[in-house]
A and B are shown apart, each in its own frame.
Chain A
Amino acid sequence: MDEGEGVADARDPAADARDPAADLRDPGAELAAVVAMRRLADRMEDAAVEKAMRAGWSWSDVAQALGVTRQAVHKKHAKRLIEAGVSLRRRR
């Protein structure tokens, strides 16, 4: 179908969107899979961090286990956990 390399001949992305069952060679499906996994990872992180903090883990412990800085995990989760009524350990 695609004769030559012209940009004008590029496949219409809409054709892919119409066929969501298309396999991962379709960049639209591949990117959607990335979005879905990222969202799932975010939700898993929220749930797991909350569980750890309720179990009395420190921010440092959570940060070490997640492989991020303590500041990053605090910034990302502190407000939500406080609003959820989780009592957080003061330091360490």
Chain B
Amino acid sequence: MGRTYVDSVLVRAAEEARGRGARLTEAEHLLLALAAEAEGDAPDLLSPAGLDRRAVERALAREFEDGLAAAGVSVADRELLEPRGSARNPSDMGESGRRVLEVAMTLARKRDLGPAHILLGLLELKVGTVPRAFALAGVDVDDLKARTLAVLDERGKTD
């Protein structure tokens, strides 16, 4: 048996984290990895919600600027707002990434986990960058969650 989907998405999420200079792999990096998938459940579910890869990047950028604005910080040098890669790989998985995986793991065995399980984990997050970015981008989280659950149902999600 080759690597599982989870293994592959975790590697890609870590690459996303590194590409953005993050020290930990967080939920937003899992979201970026999902949004970069060319086919399958991820684009099938994310595209109708207006969340292609570029849109996710824009939503995360907006969340960042919103955080700065809330602190009363405005940045003259726009280049500082652009993600910047790091020479180092993230050292670990952050708490938000762990939460996503925990939720996904309650739905299926590890080798059966797919993009829809990861997405549901992302949609279940209550705090942090991802739910804030979804809210700022006007994503209908409840609708996306319902469609994700429907896909998982179709797949016959357990055993």
Q: How large is the interface on B (under 10, 10 to 19, 20 to 34, 35 or more residues)?
A: 20 to 34
Q: Could you tell me if A33 and B70 are in contact, using CB atoms closer than 8 angstroms?
A: yes
Q: Could you tell me if B127 and A16 are in contact, using CB atoms closer than 8 angstroms?
A: yes
In the complex, what residues of A have CB within 8 A of residue B68's CB?
33, 36-37, 40
Q: Could you tell me if A47 and B73 are in contact, using CB atoms closer than 8 angstroms?
A: no
Tell me how many residues of A have a C-beta within 8 Å of chain B: 30
Complex alpha-carbon distance, A73 and B41, angstroms? 44
Complex alpha-carbon distance, A30 and B127, angstroms? 12
Q: Could you tell me if B63 and A20 are in contact, using CB atoms closer than 8 angstroms?
A: yes
> Known: A12-B126, A13-B127, A36-B64. Contact between A20 and B84, CB under 8 A?
no
Residue of A13, A14, A18, A32 near B63 (CB, 8 A) is A32
Where chain A touches its partner, the secondary structure class is helix
In the complex, what residues of B have CB within 8 A of residue A68's CB?
none
Q: Could you tell me if A47 and B80 are in contact, using CB atoms closer than 8 angstroms?
A: yes
| CB of B129 to closest CB in A, whole Å | 7
- CB of A39 within 8 A of chain B? yes
Interface residues of A in 33-72 (CB under 8 A from B): 33-37, 39-40, 42-44, 46-47
Stretch from B48-56, B108-116, B130-138, B150-158 forming part of the interface with A: B130-138
Q: Which residues of B contact A (CB under 8 A)?
A: 21, 63-68, 70-71, 73, 75, 79-81, 84, 86-88, 126-129, 131-132, 135-136
Q: Which residues of A contact B (CB under 8 A)?
A: 12-14, 16-20, 23-24, 28-37, 39-40, 42-44, 46-47, 79-80, 83
Interface CB pairs A-B, < 8 A, 11: A13-B126, A13-B127, A14-B131, A17-B128, A17-B135, A18-B135, A33-B70, A33-B71, A35-B67, A36-B73, A46-B84
